[in-house]
Amino acid sequence: MPFFVTRDGLQLHYSIGGEGRPLLCLAGLTRDSRDFRYFAPHAGRYRMITLDARGRGQSARDPDFTNYNVLREAQDVLELLDHMGLQRTAILGTSRGGLAAMTLAAMAKDRLSAVILNDVGPEIPAGGIARIMEYVGRRPAAKTYEQAAATLDTLMRPAFPDVPAARWREEAEAFYDQGTDGLSLRYDPRLRDALLAQAEAGPPADLWPLFLALDGLPCGVIRGANSDILSAETFAEMQHRLPGLQAAEIASRGHVPFLDEPEALALIHSVLDQIK
């Protein structure tokens, strides 16, 4: 398993699979490289790279929780590219990973060959943020994978009505560790402290300039039709403000699509095929 060390001394984990043009996959807020396990069999002719952001998955936890911010995580991506000797890469960013991709478009656009956003945009509804804050940084009440899977099945069924229970069991096993005292998080719980500190610092920044920095790149956006993070209104406005944006809405999916849905795969490959 490869690791590299950031300029501020943190060891981060990444993985590489396949051959061809590079495609860097950036996971959601509390997630890690395993977020892309359903997409991986469809990566085809691309060199698929995944990164565990600082404090997530197999990457080291940061002694300073304030470094859990999108700007620092975008800088980590640039340092990974330098470590690998990559001048440019396409990015497939899920949720928080998509925010990092938009940030990179504003700060180092020349390092990007294409960007695909998975269920995230420049505006996030307050209701979606409130739902995230209900669980982030907190150990689940469930004590076993079976209990966690049952809880996920119940909670997620309204937004994911056709997902079988077996997949929620896979999700539970991917993102929790099971021990004698129950389930534990596979990320630094102080991520919650970072989010609270950022909220207390003032109103969120306007992210539309970051999104519009994608102009000129092959780019696309995927939305779960039942998402509470990327609203239908923001999804439509993104297409209006960036006419070249490819867009796909996935039925029977909330936040976030798994990326093995036919519509999601078609968009991903269509955007990547535009790379010159």
Percentage of the chain modeled with pLDDT above 90: 96
Is the per-residue pLDDT at 140 higher than 80? Answer: yes
State which residues form the domain around 55.
3-126+205-272
- pLDDT tens by residue, 224-237: 999 999 999 999 99
Q: Is residue 218 in some structural domain?
A: yes
Q: Is residue 87 in some structural domain?
A: yes
Number of domains in the chain: 1
Is the per-residue pLDDT at 39 higher than 80? Answer: yes
The number of beta carbons lying within 10 Å of the beta carbon of residue 177 is: 11
When pLDDT is cut at 50, 70 and 90, the band that residue 184 belongs to is very high
When pLDDT is cut at 50, 70 and 90, the band that residue 199 belongs to is very high
Q: Is residue 189 in some structural domain?
A: no
Percentage of the chain modeled with pLDDT above 70: 100
CATH of the domain at 233: 3.40.50.1820
Q: Is residue 66 in some structural domain?
A: yes
- pLDDT tens by residue, 237-253: 999 999 999 999 999 99
Is the per-residue pLDDT at 196 higher than 80? Answer: yes
pLDDT, position 1: 65
As a dihedral over the C-alpha atoms of residue 232, residue 136, residue 95, residue 27, rounded to 10 degrees, the angle is: -160
Q: Is residue 103 in some structural domain?
A: yes
Is the per-residue pLDDT at 204 higher than 90? Answer: no
Q: Is residue 194 in some structural domain?
A: no
Distance CA 231, CA 237 (A): 10
Is the per-residue pLDDT at 202 higher than 90? Answer: no
Q: Is residue 62 in some structural domain?
A: yes
Q: Is residue 167 in some structural domain?
A: no
Distance CA 223, CA 124 (A): 13
